[in-house]
Structure 1
Amino acid sequence: MSNRPAISEEAIVLRGPLVTGFTDEEFFQFCQDNRDLRVERTADHEIIFMLPAGFLSSSASAEVVRQLSNWNVANRLGRVGESSAAYVLPDKATLSPDASWFSQANWARVPTELRNKFLPICPEFVVEVKSPSDRISTLQAKMEQWLSNGAQLGFLLDVETETAWVYRAGQPAEELHGYDQELDAAPVLPGFRLDLQPLREE
């Protein structure tokens, strides 16, 4: 599988030695200096500026984080991140899922001095929520990139069409329709089931 990252046709991409030569620290500072922008970085260190999410997709992402956080508080098995958390992956891309979870063991691998920066780990579980500017094919490629970098489980959600894809390491993606159901995250997150009903737009 190619390590070329998923880039939306609608995204603005910066290329060239000035930006591709950024160290991880310089890229982190670049993001701090541009806090109002949604920024990711490809495996080739190209910088991607993504369009802002619409309200409905943003609200859906917040609901996912809420459910995931409630489960994590009860179980205390790891850490939860929302869309401002970013991960420096083994293929050198820096990506920010809409929601993420990683184990305490994974957290222990992060040096103390990097814990308030972009984490040099891949979360075990990620969720991507389609925004109006996203293409499903782009997000599907991104989900495969998460898995190829070590994620064990991922949910891709298209709230507008009430479609969900479940990605498990080593298995084909499962496509599900209708948000009158729950997505089972076991065994990666034992006991966590994402209730899709609150994501529906009545």
Structure 2
Amino acid sequence: MITSETIILNIKNVGLSDEQFYQLCQINENWKFEQTAQGELIIMPPVGAISGNRESDLNGFLWLWNRQTQLGKVFSSSTIFILPNGGKRSPDVAWIANERWDLLTPEEREKFAPICPDFVIELRSRTDSLELLQEKMQEYLKSGLRLGWLINPQNQQVEIYRQNQPVELISLPTTLSGENILPGFVLELPCF
């Protein structure tokens, strides 16, 4: 049974290892899992067609910029990263600079990479809790994220997350800059 609601299970006392979490994801390939740094297992519903299309567009824009610059690696929403704080998170769009990616071993690259992306985009779908996404963005920041965008079509806003700075709130439509993290990357966002 597939649900349209996010399910959060408290498994703090179970203590899944990174390998056990990886195996859980592999044997339940039809489900999308994440785990917070606090040990909560999150089971997320699939997104609808509108959110899937928006997510694909965002990934495509970043991929095209990266193909031209070749400054890093772009990852889809099916990629899970093991964050330094123990969280196992899957952003909708992620990017890691080559110099950081190249430090990982081939085995680390093959499974869930133990690294926090330099840049992420989270796109709020109609089933997503804004509060949980904001907590997720803070978890990325605490793990070393350099720049993050939380795009919220429901409120026609974007929250911009940067290291050691307050969250910046911008209304849609807007143009977002990759700043010095993604030099030359500009994303024009319409109203959704």
Matched, 1:91 2:68: no
| Structure 2, unaligned runs of 5 or more | none
Greater mean alpha carbon deviation, residues 20-29 or residues 148-157:
20-29
Greater RCO (Cα-Cα under 8 Å, separation 6 or more): 1
Residue equivalent to 2:101: 107
CA distance in 2, matches of 1:77, 1:173: 26
What are the equivalent positions in structure 2 for 1:36-115 lying under 5 Å apart?
Answer: 36-115=30-109
Asked if 1 retains the 8 angstrom alpha-carbon contact of 2:12 and 2:38, the reply is no
CA distance in 1, matches of 2:150, 2:52: 14
Letter paired with 1:32: Q
Give the direction of change, closer, same or farther, for the CA distance of 1:187–1:89 in structure 2 (3 Å limit): same
Identity of aligned residues (%): 37
CA distance in 2, matches of 1:17, 1:149: 20
Matched, 1:171 2:165: yes
Residue equivalent to 1:14: 9
Matched, 1:191 2:184: yes
| Structure 1, unaligned runs of 5 or more | 1-9
Asked if 1 retains the 8 angstrom alpha-carbon contact of 2:11 and 2:39, the reply is no
Q: 2:22 aligns with which of 23, 28, 31?
A: 28
**Number of matched residues?**
188
Q: TM-score, length-normalised on structure 2?
A: 0.91
CA distance in 2, matches of 1:80, 1:16: 31
Asked if 1 retains the 8 angstrom alpha-carbon contact of 2:11 and 2:41, the reply is no
Greater mean alpha carbon deviation, residues 96-105 or residues 24-33:
24-33
Give the direction of change, closer, same or farther, for the CA distance of 1:159–1:76 in structure 2 (3 Å limit): same
Asked if 1 retains the 8 angstrom alpha-carbon contact of 2:126 and 2:154, the reply is no
Residue equivalent to 2:118: 124
Q: TM-score, length-normalised on structure 1?
A: 0.87
Q: Deviations over 1:97-134 (max 9, x none)?
A: 00000001111121111212111000000000001111
